[in-house]
């Protein structure tokens, strides 16, 4: 899978109670302040300005190892969340999970860490397919 970033990810924090039906009400959230575009195998995926994400949906018990805003997963998690919440009609869950893994590796995560995130979303991730 080939990944190419066409823009940078720019976000701002928003209140926890900001409504996003695809996220739990009590999670920390951020909103994109401009469109974020990535090419995945030559296919452009644009996460629009205003999209709300909670970073990586990591259970609190594991935050000592990886927090939801783990740097090497920020861009991948944003795109992954957007596919899960809005583009599940176009892309498969397998595509979204693999794209997260590849973006994390591109962003400097170790193979082990990227694989751990990949397995976590493969086994436990829920999106529009469920």
- Measured CA to CA, the distance from residue 103 to residue 31 in angstroms comes to 20
DSSP-assigned beta bridge partners for residue 32: 11
Residue 119 placed within a domain: yes
What's the average model confidence in pLDDT over 56-78?
82
Could you list the residue range(s) of the whole structural domain that residue 54 is in? 3-124
Alpha helices for 13-129 (secondary structure H): 74-85, 93-106, 111-124
For residue range 71-89, list pLDDT tens digits in order. 899 999 999 999 999 999 9
Residue 91 placed within a domain: yes
What's the average model confidence in pLDDT over 54-70?
77
Q: How many domains does the chain have?
A: 1
Residue 114 placed within a domain: yes
Token couple for 19: 């409504």
Inter-CA distances, 124 with 6, 27, 63, Å: 29, 17, 17
Residue 130 placed within a domain: no
Whole-number average pLDDT of the chain: 91
Residue 129 placed within a domain: no
For residues 100 and 83, the answer to whether their CB atoms sit within 8 Å is no
pTM of the full structure: 0.91
Residue 32 placed within a domain: yes
Residue 65 placed within a domain: yes
Residue 66 placed within a domain: yes
For residues 104 and 114, the answer to whether their CB atoms sit within 8 Å is yes
- Measured CA to CA, the distance from residue 119 to residue 101 in angstroms comes to 9
Model confidence at 60, pLDDT cuts 50, 70, 90, reads: low
CA 15 to chain CA mean position, Å: 19
């Amino acid at each position: 899978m080939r990944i190419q970033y066409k823009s940078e990810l720019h976000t701002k924090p928003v209140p926890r109670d900001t409504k996003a039906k695809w996220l739990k009400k009590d999670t920390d959230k951020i909103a994109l302040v401009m469109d974020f575009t990535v090419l995945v195998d030559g296919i452009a995926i644009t996460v629009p300005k205003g999209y709300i994400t909670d970073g990586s949906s990591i259970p609190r018990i594991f935050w000592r190892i990886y927090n939801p805003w783990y740097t090497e997963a920020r861009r991948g998690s944003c795109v992954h969340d957007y596919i899960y919440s809005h583009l599940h009609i176009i892309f498969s869950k397998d595509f979204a999970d693999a794209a997260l893994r590849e973006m994390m590796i591109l962003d400097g995560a170790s193979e082990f860490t990227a694989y751990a995130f990949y397995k976590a979303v493969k086994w436990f991730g829920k999106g529009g397919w469920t």
